[in-house]
Every structure is written in structure tokens, then in C-alpha cells.
Structure 1
Amino acid sequence: MTEQDGLPPGYPQEWEADVVLADGMVAHVRPIRPDDAELIHEFHAGQSEESIYLRFFAPIKRLSDKDVHRFTHVDYVDRVALVMTIRDKIAGIGRYDRIERGGQVAEVAFNVSDHHQGRGIGSVLLEHLADIGREAGVRRFVADVLPQNRKMIGVFRDAGYDASHEFDDGVIAVSFDIEPTDASRAVRMSREHRSEARSVRQVLHPASVAVIGASRRSDTVGRAFLEHIVAGGYTGALYAVNNRAEPGTDIGGLPSHRTVCDIEGGVALAVIAVPATDVLGIVDECADAGVKALVVASEGFAEAGPEGEQLQQGLLARARSYGMRVLGPNSFGLINNDPEVALDASLAAPEHLPPHGRLGLFAQSGALGVAVLASAQRRRLGISTFASAGNRVDISGNDLMQYWLDDDATSAVGLYLESMGNPRKFSRIARKLSSVKPVIVVKSGVGKFGTPRGHRVRATHERPEAFAQMLKQAGVIRVENTHQLFDVAQLVVNQPLPGGRRVGVVTNSDALGSLAADAALSWGMEVVHGPVSVNAEARVEEFRRVVEEALARDDVDSLVACFIPPVASIDPEVVEAVGAAVAGRGKPCVANFLGMRGVSPGGAVPTYATPEDAVRALASATRYADWLRSDRGTRVRPDRINRRTVHELVATVLQRSPRGEALPQEETTALLAAYGIEVWSSVPVHSDEEAVEVYRQMKGTVVLKATSPLLQHQPGQGWIRTGLRHPKAVGAAYRDLRALMEPVGAEGIAVQRMAAPGGVAVEVHSTEDALFGPVVGFGVAGVPIDLLGDMSSRFPPLTDVDIVDMVTSIRAAPMLDGYRGAMPVDHGALYDLIARVSVLADDHPEIASLRLNPVMAHQDGVDVLGASVQIAPAPTRTDAERRAMLS
């Protein structure tokens, strides 16, 4: 940025971020600017004498202009300062100054407004300063704190760093390394969770609601919202707002107000249903009225084109500058079925409103919101809460998952995702939520054709299989459509999870029993009992008896009950009998009562239209139960890691090539060595005589290989010559290889010591994806990868179990285990190599791509024979070490 832009030279705009505070409200963090001088004076004037003394160790009534100039004029390198603003007023200041220019130790200090104490501002500023410092090479923070400044001592103590404290001359000297630790990451994520959950709770549990755009006409969106809230029996205060209504008139039986500012006592939640061009002005009025959150139902934003996109950006900017959360725009609304709230602020017709239950639902588009709620209602499947994000400008599925983590009223979660703005954060939160509640996701893909207009989504180069693997890694139950979502939901909400894969099948129809048993086998289940068939004309008591006998068996983990009525409709006594037989058994039962779908009356047994639907849902629940019982491992932390070396090397590369470059071999070797990865020496040669000379120096069998990037994806062309043991053979191999490369314009030949015979050539790579962040891949090199696409992908940070699964999940995995009499490779060494690559990719987003190929895996370890690294300016990761909302 330049001074012409109104910003000082070197202003790091990428440090700006919106954050959710501990009370659920939104604030803005940005670097300090010279034009903040008056704001600094105003901030200082509002502080108490005690706060001033604790910060400056002296009673300074007014800061001098010289001091303010020094505070606001920083270089953003050795002197860094951040301000947190709320409604364009400074609520907190944090800064660090390096003890020595370019040094690794910096003195850190904070000052939080007396009016905003207890909102977590100091903790957020410390997170951001620490992350900025690490990127700039700072390794340690120090601070002098007065003993009576308990709040600031608490900020350092509670951050999760290993801080030391020394008392000297009436001052406590605090010192700590700012490298993230398990404890500091846990603290950051816990604070993020509590803040975002509280923020969503304010949206779902408002004490008062105003519908802005409520009309006397019954065919308008605003009137529909108002009527549905009234019909739902909302327990809070409800207001109708219409700027054209005459004073004293009623709308839907409620007194009307010209603006939300006319409502005495303020409003917690505003539902906005006005033309898109009027929304920004309404947001300003809501801010003046103290509204905390908005549901924007209005259309005509980013989905409508460039002008709508500008309106949408303006909506986000204004709402966040006022500290408000936004659901929408183009939102279908929200529902909270808690009897103490009873809020139906949605466009769903009352007859389509599902009953009160324990399923939390999230959808994006309005049309799908209608379908989702109607489907739940038809199945008699109760929901706890529902939200439609529309264009997802602010509140997303990630926010709702944070809320549902702590919501005792929700026992399972269903998400219909048309797009995903922060998959890295989704994976982290979903893994945590899945460990306590089933998470069911409908997501068709991640390609550009699957993203609706108006959704802010980064482009990705990863295959759809990688996204599916991310969901599996997080323990998510992925389904193909809403039909399957509710098939699974009605099971996991109403039945216990299966204890294993052993299934019993009982029926009164041989055909239905065969269909159920075959479906179970196809989904990886084990049929251990049945199909047991009773006579088609059997009495209810007999069918109940075979159900009870199956559930009583120790070797049956779950049951499929199929019943076809001898007459046109199902006998309610059969449904009741199966429900009674299942109750209290502690084992799940899915039923196929022909003609029924949904939760049986009384909520005892989930029923399905076909045996295949029932078994598919049961198989999904079984796989989820297996994941819950499995050891998910511990985060990998290889030894012999030198982050500073890589950081300095990357900085050097970007200084000479601001757009990035492919590293030369010497720097590639040095970078990998810093993470304990040894690459075999490969010496470039430019003539047959030079090749022979290098061969003599290596004193052993060598290989000659083409190193041009043009040839990396052209298998089968003979770009390598192996087993060279004589000078004449080396010279001839060089000439032959050179002649083969010339027609395709490729250059670059290298000599390398030949690895021991045997073993399996594999590839390990990582890429920095704009959407997903770091992605690590593994596969057997050559035909399995190049022709068959047989490669597994995982998303760091990885656990040891993730890595084992990564290696064993590829189809070519048997080649690593002693295929056809070969010796098994050293799996431990292979796992260690993948762990090092994953940590390297996670630590350094500037590594745009890394490829280790070939890697010879053998019984005695792994040998990295080839490596390439591409460096590029680091993208802004969607889930960095400092809390920030997507913008």
C-alpha cells in the first residue's frame, strides 16, 4: 500500500481481521496507523487512573503529542502495534518492540479499555501479535508487569505458553517462547469455541425480535415471517417495523413502528425483509438501536451479479463494524423449537414445521430449506434448531457446529452444504463434534459447477476424493442427498449405536429378507442371524417373538425387521409390537414396514420404504460407531525439526524472487534436512566426460536420470538409466539419454548413487491449496499413481493413526507388505517420512508444492532419491494460528 491510498508505506493489510469476542460480539483488529493519533488521545482520556498507572507505571493524565507520534508511527517490522476497534473506537492496543533490530526477543505490552474489560480483548491481541512475531522471526516475548496488574498477568498465564516469572525491584518480569504448544493451541481453540457458540446462541435465543419490512399485505415475505413467529408461539417480545406504516396502526395484530429505533428497550434480533438496496440503511438503523444480530431474508445480493456483490460486501463490512452477526442474505430464516423460546423465524409454512426434537439442521439455500424441513415433518422427525445461511456472508455451518457442541438439546446434526468457505476449520470442528454427536453431511462436491452464485468460495485444485477423505478423517457421516440424511438421522436420534457389524434379519417375506441380507453384505455388514422368516399370515405375537429372540442373541449387534402386510395397509399393532420388543434392548433396530417411512408413532423405531434404505442407514451408523470406538491417535511431532532454518531460507528465496520459484537442488536438500529428511546427492552433469568423472568420484554403481520438469509425467519413456558400473557404460548412457531428450526440448541430466536392489518406489508430496490449505499425498510411484490415480490424501495436522490409514488405504498397499514373496518394507520409517512432510507443510504455507519421488521403501528404511520444492508467497490460510473470521 502507498500513502496515496491513505495508508502508510509498508502497511500490512493482511494483518486486518474481524474476530468474535468472549461475549459473542464482533470486533476488528488492524495495524496501528499515524491517523490514529486522536483516537489514541480519546482512548487514554477514557481510562481510569489505575489503568493508566498499571500500563505506564506513572500517573499520566494526558499523553504528549511526542509519545502519541511514537506510538502511532511504527515500521511494522521491529516495532509492531495493533489496535482493536469496536464501532470505529479503539477498545484495546497491543504492541511489541524488538529488543534489538532484527532480533528474536521483543517486549510486549497491552492496554485494554476500562469499558471493554472481560471481553477477551487482551487474549486476542496476544494471539495476533505472537503469530505476526513468529512470521517475522521473533521467538520470545518479554514484559514487565506490576504485581497488582492481575488481569495482564492472567492474560500471559492463561495463554498456554510456558511462561517464567521473576520478581525484581517491584516489577514482575514475564518471559515466554511464542512457538505454539499443545496447551496454547488448546486455549486458542477453546476460546474460539466459546466465543462463536455464544455468538450463535444470541441469534437462536433472542429475548426480542423485530421483523423489518412487515407489511399489511399477506403475500409479502416480511408478513410471512411475522405470521410464522406469531403462530409458533414465540415467548419473547415481537415487533413489526414498516417505515410506511402510519403511527398507531397494526400489522398482523401488532403495533407497527416506523423504524427499529422507535422500539423502547431495544431489540436483540432483527429479521430484515426489504429490497436489497434498502438493506444497508436498515443495518445502520439496527446498529443505532443496539441490535445484536441480523437475519437478512432479502434477495438481490451476490447471487444477482456484480452490483449485488458490492451490496453484499457492504452488508458484511457494516454489520461487523457494528459488532453484529449476520445470517444470510437470501436466508430462509431460523427455527428454535426449545419450548422456552418457540421461535419460528422462517418462511416454512406452519404445516411443514417439524416437531420439537433432538436433530440440529443447517441448510444454505431457501429452496433446500423448504425441502429439508418438509421432509423432516413428513417423517415425524423432531428438530431442536434450524438455520438457513443463504449466501453465507457471515454465519456458516462452522458457527452452528460450535453452538451444537454444547447444546444439550441436540443429539445429532445434519448439514446440507452447497459450498464450504473454510474446510480446514470445518474439519477441526467437525472432528470434535463427531466425537460426541453424529454429524451427517450432504455435499455433492467441491468443483466450480457445484457452487451456487453468491457464495464466497476459494478455488481448489484438489480432487473430489480428497474432500471425501477430509470428511472421513473428521468422522463425518457423508450421504448423497437429503433422503439419505434423514434415513440416517432418524436412526441415530432414536436408537442406540450398533456395538459391531453383526446383523440379524427377521421378516415375514422371503423376498424382503433376501434383499435385506444381500444389502447388508454389500455394505460390509456380517449377517449372523437369519434371514428368519415367519409365515406371511403369521400373527403379531409370532413376529414379535422372532424380533425378541434375535435381539436377545449375544452375537447380534443390530436388527433389520421387514414386514409386508397381508392386506393393503400396515397393521399398527405390528409397529407397536416391534417397538415394544426393541425398547430397552440397547441394540438398534431398523424396520421396513412396506409403505411407511419415518419415525414410528411413539418414536420407537425408524422405518424405511425399502430394505435397502434401512440397511444403508444402519451401515452408516455402524461405520460411525466403529470410528467412535477406534483409536484416533496422537498428533505427530517428529524430532530433529529446525523451523527457523526453513523460515530463513524461505525468506531469502522470496526476497530474491518475490513471486516465488522452484528451489535449486542445494536449497531443496537444505530445506528438507531441517526437518530430518535426507535427500540422496544428485550431481548435475553437462557432458559424457563430466558424467564419467562424477561416477569415478562416487565409487560405486550409479544411475543417470533426466531432471527436467517436462518429463515428470511422461512414464515409460526411459528417462533413467540404472545399474551403471563402468565408465564406458556411463558415457554411453549419457549420450543415449541426451539424444532421447533433445526432440522434446528437455534439458538436465544428473548422476546419482544407485539404491540397493529391491524395495518399492513410492511418492510423498504436499501442496498448499487455496481452499483446503496443506494437503499431503501418498502412493506407489509409477503406474499406480500416473495411470490409476491410486493416491491417498490427508489434511494436516495428522495423527499417527491418520498416517497408518493413509498408507494402508491405497489399492497398491499389498506391494508394501511383501507382495509375491518380496520383503515387507519398513513401515515405521515410511510413516516417519510422511509425518515430517506433513509437519513441514503445516508449518510453512510458503511451500506451494513439495514432491519426494522416487522414494525407495525397503526392509531397512527409506531412501529419498529425488525431491523438488516450489516456494511462493504464503496465501492467507482460512484457519491460521490467530483467530479471524473469513472476510
Structure 2
Amino acid sequence: MSEGLPEGYPRLAEADVVLRDGTVCRLRPIKPSDAEAIHRFHAGQSDESIYLRFFAPMRQLSARDVERFTHVDYRDRMALVATIRGEIIGIGRYDRVTPDSAEVAFNISDHYHGKGIGSVLLEHLAAIAQERGITQFVAEVLPQNRKMLSVFSDAGYEVSRRYEDGVVSLHFDIEPTAQSLSVRLAREHRAEAQSVHSLLHPASVAVIGASRRERAIGHQLLKQILDAGFTGTVHAVNPEAGEVLGVDAVRSVRDIPEHVDLAVVAVPAPQVPDVVRECAEVDVRSLLIVSSGFAEVDEEGDRLQREVLRLARDNGMRVVGPNSFGIINNDPAVRLNATLTPTIPGDGHLGLFSQSGALAIANLDSAARRRLGVSAFASAGNRVDVSGNDVMQYWIEDERTHAVGLYLESMGNPRKFSRIARHLASTKPVIVVKPESGDFGSPPGHAVRRPKVKPHAFSAMLNQAGVIRTENVHQMFDVAQLLLHQPLPTGRRVAVVGNSSQLTALSADNAAARGLQVVHGPTSVRTEATAQEFRQALDAAFADEQVDSVIVCFIPPVGALSKDVVGAVRHASRRSDKPCVATLLGMRGVDVDPGDLVTREEDEEGAGHPQRAVPIYPMPEEAVRALAHATDYGRWRDKDRGEPVTRTGIDRAAARAVIERVLAEDPDGRALTTDEAHELLAAYGIDLWLRVEVETADEAVAAAETVGYPAVVKSLSPVVRGQSYLEGIRVDLTDADAVRRAFEGLDKRLAPMDANYLVVQRMAQPGVSCVLSTIEDPLFGPVVSFSIAGAPTDLLEDIAYRIPPMTDVDVRELVDDIKSAPLLHGHRGTRPVDRSGLEDILGRLSLMSDDLMELASVELNPVMAHPDGISVLGADIQVATAQRRIDPGARALS
């Protein structure tokens, strides 16, 4: 027992969860000290609810009942409570009835029905039960208890029912299925999207710290809210003023006569916790904390930040900030500018997210100068709660947002980011600016775990999710102005048209360098050509059936750019369904006001066509780069993204038994023995070839008789592993004398280097030696990698990465992504290796790494891929005590 917690209390089971209505509740294991809270909870329930739960009119619980409810062993008997403001609003429990099944039951407060609490408790209990070897839940429910029956039926499990003696008996396997996973993610999406919707669509806003001093932050925030024409009600909180900017001021948020949806907090950091408590008392939904002086400053600020987060979540609130630049919602029905800048882009279709306040100003200014309209904007500041993941959940459903740009200085939950971004990118472009950093260094105030994987694993994750990564803000807007105002390219074939042979050649070279195929041109009209001649050349490019996109570049021969030229580009573009990018001297942005995009234009034949804006760039490189990004994204959108990886012949219980046995002996973890590695991999259908460690020539001969001839003797020392083929290995040994000579020769050569760690193994069929690995990364969670053994891995770092859960397409692309992949496909006349066998093992490895958090690392090396199959010749596996994943198997806020 520690810190007053009962023995065995599982801290990893604690979680904050967003409910269906966007509020937050706390889930935690039950404790003996909850006895009084259980009595209060029960006393607040209706007679009907009590009967439905206990099948009897138990108006009061006995002391014996409460003791049984609150005293559990957290393994065979487990109970979770859901709380808001410290009060229990829901209870879920299971009791093991057989080695692999448990009876599950729930009790939800009458005041909180319809918020999805039962579903959340079921998800978390199922995840905990699986870790304890339970594979099936059973339950008994009265037939009139439709709400509880729906909790089970709507969870995505295959539920069997039997009606007997007036009770519905249910049983179902709790191993996640494609359907149950889909249900969980859909519920998480709806809840988190609703919480951000409440934040961005408040009916009432209170500015706490609204000052009469013009340069004060609170004064500026109130001014921007009023000047933007916020459609709801605005309140000023200032204990020393009667009014601020014409708004009546009150001493505390508690004195506001109506409910407050959003509290904008601009008071000194030490005062913020008290402000949060006051907001909790009057049930404020969301907090925007602009105040600085938190974790970005010192340890005391970090303590304050953690206190604010705990207070907010314990009281059901979401928090943006602290140290946030603010939020914007340009929806005409809201018109909210709760930022520190009066100059914001007009209403449009680009969603923007930024962590840094300084960069937020740059982002908004750049969007405004380019005439890019913004639908909504959020600055996370220290990102204590609401993050880019939450805002992306909102943008998935927001009809006003057509593309998304995110500036990420750090990433707290890349695993969750990957799956949300993949969902969003399937319908709307997601453009990310993430500064390159060898150690993923985060700015002050951002709580980020330090990763173990190499930085390009992050890029692989973005590619897997269909995210467009750019190097800076300018490039982000270069891509955004194209994707917002032009159709997606349907292919890589481009036409290049201009009035300068040098400029068109430069554009064509850039296009080819970025993987685009120049199939029309480069065409250059004469420098003095009229707008009509230029227009004819453009029309020909757009009319070419072999062309997917058109690149235009024009330099005015004398003076300013002719409006007729801009009109010619606009006219040609709007008559076609092919995207167009234009390089026009001295211009950047879009050529019409975004507000005109909904209008229609009549051409000479009188046919109506939707009007589009042409994205304009000052240099060809920028135009081509944006077009290449858009083309790659269009290809990702169109491709088959596959089905979730599944494999037969997996015994998860057997694998978990191996892990638990090892950690029971060595709680800090260790490397698995050869026998343990065989047992673990076999549970996931991976056949590890037997290899025998030997210290003498006689042992080597005996081992060869065991594994069979032809045999190999090789060193496992890292000093020689992956070096010259004959440096640490002797192959094709067909008898005892050959084995003896091989052992003695290697032992003599390698002993001076202390590299004579020798094993004997049956000789595998020749092929391509591969390395298949997974690591449990503190930041990313499980990361699967693939490479060719030797120099490609050790020297060139030619390694591909993917983040589970994976699809069959992810697995295929993991193999294809390495530069040395041609070695697998029949290089220089060799036969191609068994790709399906290789992908099968990678899929099994991804499932194993996703299932078992205790797997600190797994390296299958060498894995010999040959035309007739795959041979796994070696495995190094390290296990360690599980740490809570940032994105666990059940819904939870980070």
C-alpha cells in the first residue's frame, strides 16, 4: 500500500474520458474509502433504477454490501467508478466466475443517463479484463432494462442472449473486433468533436480579468470579442470596476446571472486555480486560459499547470492553454475573435491550429495577406488539455472547413494523431508544419515523452496517415491555397505553359525532379504575345486529354502584370476540371476574394460553371512543390487503404502467460531466453528456428546432430554481426568434422576480440537477410520497422517504419518503402522472395506489439527471405514492466 491506496491498486486504470455531451469525467478503480460516496450514490437513485440493478427494492445498502462493493482484489474482482466533482456518477464492475470469464454489471446515476457512461465503463473494464486473462463477459439484465441492454448490443461485440426465469442472460467475447473498434473510435470522435464544438460555439462568454487598462491582455481580449461582433452575450469579470468597454462588470463569475459556456481567463498565474474553482461552481463548460507563467517558466509554474488541469477535468471542463494566443470562429452565426489581434483573416474554409502564440500571429497574418479565408483557429499554448487531435476531431464533421493546417512544435500523442489524421485526411487535406529536430525537442511548457525511435519514424507516420508535411508556414499556405481553390489532381501528368523559355524550362525541370511527368510542353509563347495568344496556348494545354494538371508561368515584358493575363488564366482554369497553378511575377495568394467562390460565371456559350480562384506563386519552385504535394495527396486519397491486419493461429493468452511469468521472476524486465522467445513467438504463429549456444567443439558437434545437417556455426557478437559474410560465420557444414573445424577456426579468430559467442543452427536456404523489429516507444507506442540486414540497416539507415494498428496495405508498403526493396523482387536475375510470407510475419509482429505493452523490443534478425518461404533464424526480445500508453486501448484523454 502506498499514498493511502489499497494494495494492488492499478494506477494505470485511471483515466479522464470525454462523455457524449463533451464534458469530462474521471474513471478510476474503486477504493475502500468510497464507502460513503457509494451510500450517497445509491440514495440518489430512483426505486426503478435500484430494482433494475439489484433485482430487488434495496432502498438502503447494508454495511456488508458496501464493504463487498468497495473491497476488490483488482484482478479477479474489479470495479471502476466514474466521477464528476468528486461525486460518483457511475459504477462498473466484473467478478471472475471461471478462469476465462467474468460477470459484468453497471449502475449509472439517474442524473447522467444518456451521456455514454455505461459504454465507457464497459470499454475500460474489457481492456482491464483482457490483461488479466479474461476473454468473455457474461451479464444478467432484466428485460425492461433497455438502456443497459443497449450498452451491450451497441458496443460492437457479438452478443448471445438467452431468456430464462424472467432474466436476459448475455455473454460475449471481449477481444476487440473490427466492429467493436469502429464503435469505440466513432464514440470517441463524436464526444471529442462535441467538446470542441461547445468551445467554438459558445452562447455566452465571460472575460475574467477584463481590465480598463488598454494595454492589459484582459482589455484587449474583451475588445476583440466586442469588435468582431460576437453574436452571444459577453460578460466582464473585474472585482474593481463597474464596467469595462461599456460592459457591466461583476466581481466573480459566480455573480453572472446566466450560464457561461466559455470563460476566457486573463489573470496572473497564481490566481488561475481559484478562478477555475469558481468556474466549476457555476458549471462553466470550457476554459480559454491566455495567462502565462506556467510550465513554460519554472517548476512552480509546472505545479500550477498540473493543478489547473486536475481541477478542470475533475469538474468536467475542457481547457485551451494556458499561455494560449486564443481562438477564432468566423462562422457568421458566432463571429468569435477571442485572440490578441484585431487583424484576422476573413470567413473561409481553412481550419488553422498553432501551438505558439508568436507563430499564431504569423499564421493569421500570412493567411490574411494571401486572401485565404479561415473557418476556425485555435492556439493550444502549453497544450495542457485541448490539442490538435481534439480540434481535428471537430474539423472532421465541420462542413465549413475544407482543409486543415497545423503548426506543431511538439506532439504529445502521435499514435492518436495518426488515426485521427487518417480519418480527417480521407475527406479533407491535412497540412502539417513540424520543425525538424533530431530529438523531437519540445518548447517550454509542453509535456512530451522523449522518444527512442529515429526522427524519420515521425515522417513515416505522417505518410501512413495521408498527411502533407511541409517545411515551414509559407509552404503550408502554398499548398492550402491550391487545395482550397482547385480540384485535386487525378494523376502526375502536367502541362507547362509560359511566355519565357527559361521560365518554362525551369518549371519543367522542377516538375520532373518532384516526380511529375511533363507530357505537354514546356510551351512558351513569344514574350510580346497578347493575352489572347496566351489564352489560346492555355486552352490547348487544358484540352489535352493526356494532361492532369497545368503549370502556368508568365513574366510581363514591360511594367506591371496585365490584368488581361490574369483574366486569361482565370478563364481557362474555370472552364476545366483540371487543377492549375500559376507563377506570376510579384504575386502570391489567390486571384479573387474567397467570398466570390460561391458565385457562378457565364462563359460565351452561356453555360454556368462554378467560379474558382487560381493559386498564384512568385517563383516556379513554389508552384511546382505545392502541386506535387497536392498530387501525392490525391493519389493517397484514391488508393485502397486496405483492411485491418488479422491473422489466424494466435494464442494471446499463451503469449501473456510468458510475459507474466518472466515479470514475476524479474519485475524490472529482462531479455527472454531462447526457449521463452520460441514460446512467445509461437503464440503468434511465428516459427523461430532452433539455435544452440556452444562453448566447445564437442558441444558444437552435438548441437549439429540436434539441429540437423547441413549446419552453420556463427557468432552472435555485435562486433562481427553484419560484417563481411565469412567474418563470423561458417556455412554448409555437412558432417561432424566440418563442424569441429569451423568451431575451432572461428573460436581462434574471434577470441581476441571477445566475439566468440558461437551458436550452431541448421543452414537455411540462401536468400535476402532481413531485419524485422518492433519497439515500445514512450511517445509513439509500438513502432514496427523493416530493413535489409547489413549495410542498408547499419550504415545507410535504410529502414521503413509503421505505427500499429496496421492494414494489409500498410504492411505491403512497409516492405516497399525501403530503397533496397529491389533486392527482394529479383535483382539481377535472382528469383523474387516470398513476399506474402514476409508480409505475414510483419503482420503478426504488428499484432503482437500492439497487444503486449510489455514488449520493450523485438528484433527478428536474421530473417532469411527466399523464393520458397521465410526462415526466422534469430530473435532478441526484451520485456519490461508496462507503462501506460499515451493512446491506450480504451477511450482516454492524454
- What is the TM-score of this pair, normalised by structure 1? 0.97
Residues of 1 paired with 2:560 and 2:303: CA distance? 56
Picking from 229, 249, 267, the partner of 2:260 is 267
Aligned position for 1:434: 425
Deviations 1:448-479 (A, max 9, x none): 46310110111111111111010000000110
Counterpart of 1:267, as a letter, is V
1:74 partner SS: coil
| Same amino acid, percent of matched pairs | 56
Q: CA deviation at 1:293?
A: 0.3
Match in the other structure for 2:17: 19
> Counterpart in 1 of 2:601?
none
Q: Which residues of 2 match residues 530-545 of structure 1 at below 5 A?
A: 530-545=521-536
Deviations 1:388-433 (CA, angstroms, capped at 9, x unpaired):
0000000000001100000000000000000001100000011111
Deviation per CA, 1:707-743: give whole Å up to 9, x if none: 3567657667822222222323322222232334433
Pick aligned residue for 1:372 from 352, 360, 363: 363
Residue in 1 that maps onto 2:323: 330
3-state secondary structure, aligned to 2:450: coil
Asked if 1:636 corresponds to 2:645, the answer is yes
1:115-136 per-position Cα deviation (integer Å, ceiling 9, x unaligned): 0000000000000100000001
Paired residue for 1:33? Answer: 31
Instruction: Quote the Cα distance in structure 2 between the aligned partners of 1:191 and 1:305.
Output: 38
**Residue 143 of structure 1, aligned match among 139, 142, 147:** 139
Q: Which segment drifts farther, 514-523 or 698-707?
A: 698-707
Residue among 553, 557, 562 paired with 1:571: 562
1:802-822: CA deviation from partner (whole Å, max 9, x where unpaired): 122111221111111111221
Aligned match of 1:165:
161
Measured after TM superposition, the shift of residue 445 of structure 1 is 3.5
Structure 1 CA distance for aligned equivalents of residues 884 and 590 of structure 2 = 46
Do 1:241 and 1:258's aligned partners in 2 also have CA atoms closer than 8 Å? yes
1:823 aligns with 2:831: yes
Q: Helix, strand or coil for the counterpart of 2:764? A: coil
Partner of 1:341 in structure 2? Answer: 334
Separation in structure 1 between the aligned mates of residue 27 and residue 749 of structure 2, nearest angstrom: 58
Of 789, 794, 797, 1:786 maps to 794
Q: Determine if the alignment matches structure 1 residue 487 to structure 2 residue 483.
A: no
What is the CA–CA distance in structure 2 between the aligned matches of 1:198 and 1:589, rounded to whole Å?
Answer: 37
Contact 2:322 2:382 in 1 (8 A): yes
Letter in 2 for 1:213: G
Aligned to 1:692: 701
Change in Cα spacing, 1:699 to 1:628, as seen in structure 2 (3 Å) is: closer
Give the letter aligned to residue 310 of structure 1: R
581, 589, 613: which one pairs with 2:622? Answer: 613
1:113 paired residue number = 109
Deviations 1:357-405 (A, max 9, x none): 0000000010010000000001000000000000000000000110000
Tell me how far apart the structure 1 counterparts of residues 831 and 215 of structure 2 sit (CA, whole Å): 75
How many residue pairs match? The answer is: 876
Task: Tell me, in whole angstroms, the C-alpha distance in 1 between the residues paired with 2:261 and 2:384.
Answer: 20
Q: 1:600 to 1:125 in 2, by over 3 A?
A: same
Q: Is structure 2 residue 33 aligned with structure 1 residue 47? A: no
Match of 2:404 among 413, 418, 424: 413
The letter of the residue matching 2:712 is V
- Once the two structures are superposed, residues 568-612 of structure 1 have per-residue CA deviations (whole angstroms, 9 ceiling, x without a partner) of 322223222321221141111111110000011244111011111
Deviations 1:475-525, CA, capped at 9 Å, x for gaps: 001100000000000000011011111111111222221111111111111
Once residues 34 and 693 of structure 1 are traced to their aligned partners in structure 2, the CA distance between those partners, rounded to angstroms, is 60
Q: What is the aligned partner in structure 2 of residue 660 from structure 1?
A: 669
SS at match of 1:855: strand
Report the equivalent of 2:537: 546
Task: Pick the aligned partner of 2:491 from 483, 491, 500.
Answer: 500
Match of 1:834 in 2: 842
**Maintained 8 Å contact 1:688/1:731:** yes
1:10 to partner: Cα distance: 1.3
Matches within 5 A, 1:272-287: 272-287=265-280
Q: Which amino acid aligns with 2:825?
A: D
Query: Which moves more between the two structures, 603-612 or 729-738?
Result: 729-738
Q: Is the 8 A contact 1:419 1:446 kept in 2?
A: no
Aligned to 2:203: 207
**Distance between the aligned counterparts of 2:523 and 2:69, measured in 1?**
81
What's the offset of the Cα at 1:108?
0.5
Per the normalisation by structure 2, the TM-score is 0.96
Using the TM superposition, give the Cα deviation of residue 852 of structure 1 relative to its aligned residue in structure 2, in angstroms. 1.1
Q: Is the 8 A contact 2:157 2:173 kept in 1?
A: yes
1:699 Cα deviation after fit: 4.3
Gaps of at least 5 residues in structure 2 are 595-612
Secondary structure at 2:333 match in 1? coil
Q: Distance in 2 between matches of 1:467 and 1:646?
A: 29
Distance change >3 Å, CA 781–CA 241, structure 1 → 2: same
Q: Tell me, yes or no, if the aligned pair for 1:446 and 1:467 is still in contact at 8 Å.
A: no
Q: Do residues 197 (structure 1) and 193 (structure 2) align?
A: yes
Secondary structure at the counterpart of residue 166 of structure 1 = strand
SS at match of 2:27: strand
Q: Structure 1: which 4+ aligned runs deviate by more than 4 Å?
A: 708-717
- Distance in 2 (CA, whole Å) between partners of 1:715 and 1:19 is 54
Q: Distance in 2 between matches of 1:721 and 1:316?
A: 61
Counterpart in 2 of 1:474? Answer: 465
- Whether 1:296 aligns to 2:289 is yes
Which residue number in structure 1 is paired with residue 85 of structure 2?
87
Question: Are residues 127 and 60 of structure 1, via their aligned partners in 2, closer, same or farther at CA, if it must alter by over 3 Å?
Answer: same
Are positions 1:75 and 2:73 aligned together? yes
Q: Distance in 2 between matches of 1:647 and 1:885?
A: 26
Is the Cα contact below 8 Å between 1:447 and 1:460 reproduced in 2? no
Distance between the aligned counterparts of 2:776 and 2:195, measured in 1? Answer: 31
Aligned partner of 2:306 among 310, 313, 319: 313
In the TM superposition, 1:479-878 aligns within 5 A as 479-603=470-594, 604-708=613-717, 712=721, 718-746=727-755, 748-756=757-765, 758-878=766-886
RMSD value over aligned CA atoms? 1.4
Inter-partner Cα distance in structure 1 for 2:336 and 2:726 = 67
For the residue of structure 2 that corresponds to 1:294, the secondary structure is strand
Counterpart of 2:561, as a letter, is I
Determine the C-alpha separation between the residues in 1 that align with 2:718 and 2:504: 58
Equivalent-residue separation in structure 2 for 1:275 and 1:614 (angstroms): 46
Distance 1:743 1:717, change over 3 A: farther
2: CA distance, partners of 1:596 / 1:360: 23
8 Å CA contact 2:266, 2:290 repeated in 1: yes
- Matched-pair contact (CA < 8 Å) for 2:478–2:623: yes
Out of 576-585 and 424-433, give the one that drifted further: 576-585
Measure the CA separation in 1 of the matches of 2:441 and 2:75: 42
Q: Return the alpha-carbon distance in structure 1 between the equivalents of residues 859 and 231 of structure 2.
A: 60
Amino acid at match of 2:716: T
- Tell me by how many angstroms 1:686 deviates: 2.4
> What one-letter code is carried by the residue in structure 2 that aligns with 1:30?
R
Aligned-partner Cα distance in 2 for 1:527–1:700: 57
Deviations 1:745-783 (A, max 9, x none): 456322111113x31111111111111111111111111
Q: 2:440·2:450 contact (CA, 8 Å) conserved in 1?
A: no
Match for residue 132 of structure 1? 128
Query: 697-706 vs 292-301, which deviates more?
Result: 697-706
Q: In the alignment, which residue of structure 1 is the partner of 2:178?
A: 182
Contact 1:332 1:347 in 2 (8 A): yes
Distance 1:482 1:111 in 2: 50
1:463 & 1:238 partners in 2: Cα distance?
Answer: 48
Give the match for residue 362 of structure 1: 353
